[in-house]
Structure 1
Amino acid sequence: MTDFDATKALFHLPEGVIYLDGNSLGPLPRAAAQVMQKTIHKEWGEMLITGWNKAGWMEQPMRIGDRIGAMLGAEPGHVCLGDTLSIKVYQALAAALALVPERRVILSDSGNFPTDLYMAQGLIRALGRGHELRLVDPEDVADHLSEEVAVLMLTEVDYRTGRRHDMRALSEMARDRGVVTLWDLAHSAGALPVDLAGCGVDFAVGCTYKYLNGGPGAPAFIYVAPRHAGRIEPVLSGWLGHQAPFAFDLDYRPAAGSERLRVGTPPVLQMAALEAALDIWDRVDIDDLRARSIALGELFISEVESRCPMLTLASPRDPHRRGSQVSFAFDEGYAAMQALIDRGVIGDFRAPDIMRFGITPLYIDEADIGAAVAVIAEVMHNALWDRPAYRRRATVT
């Protein structure tokens, strides 16, 4: 059994703060600063450029990718780390479309994260081959999986409400119709069990700064199934995805397998922080984490609904149909969230009216839930949000 009291002690959590925003940015692992100091002083400082060989910097994307892949049910050697999530979406979607050149429809849902849709729109313009991005209601995706669809591109857990798609069922339906699947795991990795190989997923992408706690700007990852890895042609053919980067050929030759999806120089300092975070995961059973997430989420919903009837549950009531976050709708949600943050309960806001709360068992427990609900009730019943300062929109909401 996972000792969640022990994992909580491994994070720096500011005094007087209840942090319910790990679904947006995970807190600082205590070991991260020490690991980064070592990387800065012992490796960069003392080894200088020889650190690429002596400290293993060049191998980080695939080595750390395997650590993440093991958490996601991926085959070894098929998760590559680096770049941003937007870039990885672009890479994966371009590769997926190339596998079914006779089809023109990219199917997604209206709740998908905007950057995924923007990347698809930009790729469609760049290709200039008449592709269509078709958006349907999340509940209607299965009904639109026709044989004209090239790629099914979905985020497993909705960023606003936490609503969860059935990855296994939809991937199976897509496969039966010759549709290539691309799953965004931004709100899944580190939040719930994922089985990429078992579900027969073709491509997957995700970020490491949310539930994996890799820090702001931590690199994204991309997965490609073994059946595709040796034959895809990367649309972003960077030098580190070359078969022999230091041969400095003038023509691109793809590296073997998933390594061809590397693009630019690895972000060594960011990866050092991420490795410190992943060390915590070595202590965690993902099924234990999921069970505790559900229990804490149910407690949070019950307490908020009993004490704050002015808030409306926006997440699915069935805990198995949501990820590791709980969202409530409130017309003045932005101002209310600012009032909560001002009183030490940190969640976040998503337009038009969603107050999001991350349920992250690695460092949140029953006492935190109880204390947070008490503050929420105080803010809501006394309309403490109704102040001009709380209505002024910051850049990041």
Structure 2
Amino acid sequence: MCLYKVLRAAVALRPGRDELVTDTANFPTDRFLVDSVGAELGLTVRWIEGPDDVAAVAGPRTAAVVLSHVDYRSAAIADLAGITRVVHERGGLTVWDLCHSVGSIPVALDADGADFAVGCTYKFLNAGPGAPAFLYVNARHHEAFGQPITGWMGAADTFGMAERYVPAPGIRRALSGTPPVLGMVGVQEGVALLAEAGIERVRAKAVALGRWVLDLADEWLVPLGFTVASPREDARRGGHVTLRHPDAERLSRVLIDNGVLIDFRRPDGIRIGLSPLTTGFTEVRAAMERIRELAG
């Protein structure tokens, strides 16, 4: 719902522009929704191979560019500030998916000029399963943006029970219905824990955990037919590492059955999640050793 809201809002802020841009490697929900909004509004979707291709396609017809800050498979970090600057130079707006970056790497939406963003709270924000998503709207758009799923919580007078919808001032107009209170408590506690730790310390540990996985993979798993699919440069890698293996789908089931909780990502990826606040170095070593045993 959050992505739909901000994408529709972005398009409405750029009347006369009839193209959306996203990449073929983006998370399926993002790709599917961009396609749906394109069909709904009669817009053309321009498909690119990755974030580095934005400059080649963004132009006077571009309404919005939808990208993930951190790739859900490879963990590659996109240049949020640089890409946003290019899109703005062409007159378009940016919509960023932060699901694999928020709480894992520093994110500076205001400073980097992002227009809109969405994300989840159950991953690196530690709010747990079923926790609500969130959206961001840059303050410069607060008084102009509208969203298509209006409701009483986003109305100017929530308890006025007015005949017609009048949007609340500022970001509150992005709300629709009553928020899930129990899920919000999880977000509150998870974010408080992250704030106490500090994002710079969290990022430092994420980098160290990722480096540990890469070192062990090179020593133990590459000789068994694995390859590294994530960037090796620490500055370009988010909070997970993905390894490729020709038999990854079967091997992923074996690993999960034996207590190694990884994710299979088609076509041949085994994603190792490294939530810094809850994952220790000894756990990572034990998991990598078990992968070596089961894949050997």
Q: TM-score range by the shorter chain?
A: over 0.9
Q: Look up the equivalent residue of 1:158 and give its one-letter code.
A: D
- Equivalent position of 1:293 in the other structure: 206
1:149 and 2:74 aligned: no
State the shift of 1:365 in Å.
Answer: 2.1
- 2:33 — aligned with what? 119
Deviation digits for residues 282-320 of structure 1 (CA, Å, limit 9, x no counterpart):
321211211221111111111112111211111122221
Task: Using CA pairs under 8 Å that are at least 6 residues apart, name the structure with larger relative contact order, 1 or 2.
Answer: 1
TM-score of the aligned structures, taking structure 1 as reference length: 0.72
1:181-192 alignment, distance < 5 Å:
181-192=94-105
Q: Does 1:225 align with 2:132?
A: no
CA distance in 1, matches of 2:9, 2:218: 45
Count of residue correspondences: 293
Q: Which amino acid aligns with 2:239?
A: S
Q: Which amino acid aligns with 1:202?
A: D
In structure 2, what is the Cα distance between the partners aligned to 1:104 and 1:366? 49
Q: Does 2:60 align with 1:109?
A: no
Which amino acid letter does the alignment assign opposite residue 96 of structure 1? Answer: A
Q: Who is 1:100 aligned against? A: 14
8 A contact 2:24–2:31 mirrored in 1: no
Larger Cα Rg: Structure 1 or Structure 2? Answer: 1
Distance 1:273 1:100 in 2: 36
* Structure 2 residue corresponding to 1:281, chosen from 194, 197, 200: 194
**What is aligned with 1:88?**
2
Moved more, 138-147 or 241-250: 138-147
TM-score (norm 2): 0.95
- 1:257-336 mapped onto 2 (5 Å cutoff): 257-309=170-222, 310-336=225-251
Q: Deviations over 1:131-175 (max 9, x none)?
A: 111110113223222222111111111111111110011011111
- The residue number in structure 2 matching 1:10 is none
1:157-168 alignment runs, 5 A limit: 157-168=70-81
1:142, 1:376 → 2: CA distance?
40
Cα distance in 1 for residues equivalent to 2:246 and 2:266: 10
Q: Is residue 2:279 matched to residue 1:364?
A: yes
Q: In structure 1, list runs of 5 or more residues that go unmatched.
A: 1-86, 382-397
In the alignment, which residue of structure 2 is the partner of 1:135? Answer: 47
1:76-104 alpha-carbon deviations (Å, 9 max, x no partner): xxxxxxxxxxx000000000001111111
Q: How does 1:39-54 map to 2 (within 5 A)?
A: none
Shift of 1:207: 0.6
- Look up the match of 2:152: 239
C-alpha distance in 2, partners of 1:336/1:232?
47
Residues 43-83 of structure 1, C-alpha deviation per residue, up to 9 Å, x if partnerless?
A: xxxxxxxxxxxxxxxxxxxxxxxxxxxxxxxxxxxxxxxxx
Secondary structure at the aligned position of 1:263 is classed as coil
SS at the partner of 1:143?
helix
Equivalent position of 2:93 in the other structure: 180
Q: Matches of 2:215 and 2:160 in 1, distance apart?
A: 61
Counterpart for residue 342 of structure 1: 257
- How far the C-alpha of 1:379 sits from its partner, in A, is 0.8
Which residue identity does 1:236 align to in structure 2?
I
Question: 1:49-68, aligned counterparts within 5 Å?
Answer: none
Identity of aligned residues (%): 38
Q: Give the equivalent residue in structure 2 for 1:353.
A: 268
Distance 2:90 2:55 in 1: 11
Match of 2:115 in 1: 202
* Structure 2 Cα separation of the partners of residues 229 and 250 of structure 1: 23
Distance 1:154 1:253 in 2: 31
State the Cα deviation string for residues 156-201 of structure 1 (Å, max 9, x = none).
1111111111001101111122110110101011110000000000
Cα offset for 1:278? 2.1
Secondary structure of the 2:33 match is: helix
Q: Could you tell me whether the CA contact under 8 Å between 2:84 and 2:112 is conserved in 1? A: yes
One-letter amino acid of the counterpart of residue 273, structure 2: G
Q: How far apart, in 1, do the equivalents of 2:281 and 2:186 lie?
A: 28
1:207-226 CA distance string (max 9 Å, x none): 10111111111101111111
